[in-house]
Amino acid sequence: MIPIAVLFFIFAPQMVRVFSADPDVVAIASGFLRFVAVTIPFLSSTLVLGKGIGGAGDTLTPAMMTGIAQLGLRVPVAYALALACGLGPTGIWLGINASDVCQGSAMLWYFRRGFWQKRYHRHRAILEERDI
C-alpha cells in the first residue's frame, strides 16, 4: 500500500481535478488527500489484520481497538487540535491521522505478538470436541 500512498500524495491535485476544476477546491482537497495518503499503510493494516484476527475467532479485540481509536482518540484529539489549538480543519485531519496511526500500529503489534492465536486454538478445540 505504500506505493499507492505515494501516488495519492504526489498526484493529489490531478486526482481532485477529476471531480472539480475550481482552483480553491483543488487546493483544499489536495491538502486533505495528502493527509489521507500518509495513513493509507496504517488503514490497510487495520483493515486486513483486524479482519484476519476476527476470522480467527478473536472478534472482541479488533472491535475494542476500533472503538478506543475512533471514539477515545480520534474525536478528542481532533476536537482539541481544531478548537483548542486553533488549527481548524487541519486539526481535524491531524486527529484523524493520529487515530489511524495508533490503531494500525496497535493492530500490527497485537497480530505480531500472536495473542489472537490463543483464542483461535481455544475455538478450534471446542469445534473439534463437538465434531463440527
Report domain extents, the chain.
Answer: 39-129
pLDDT at 51 over 90: yes
Q: What is the pLDDT of residues 93-114, one digit of tens each?
A: 999 999 999 999 999 999 999 9
CA atoms of 14 and 26, how far apart (whole Å): 8
> Mind listing the pLDDT tens digit for each residue in 56-65?
889 999 999 9
Residues 6+ away with beta carbon under 8 Å from 67: none
Give the CA distances from residue 105 to residues 7, 39, 42, 69, in Å, rounded to whole numbers and listed in that order: 22, 11, 7, 11
Check whether 132 has a pLDDT greater than 80.
Answer: no
The pLDDT assigned to 61 comes to 94
| Predicted local confidence at residue 122, as pLDDT | 84
What is the pLDDT, as a whole number, of residue 124? Answer: 83
**Interacting residues of 127 by C-beta distance below 8 A, sequence separation 6+:** none
**Nearest CA among 84, 79, 111 for reference residue 94:** 79
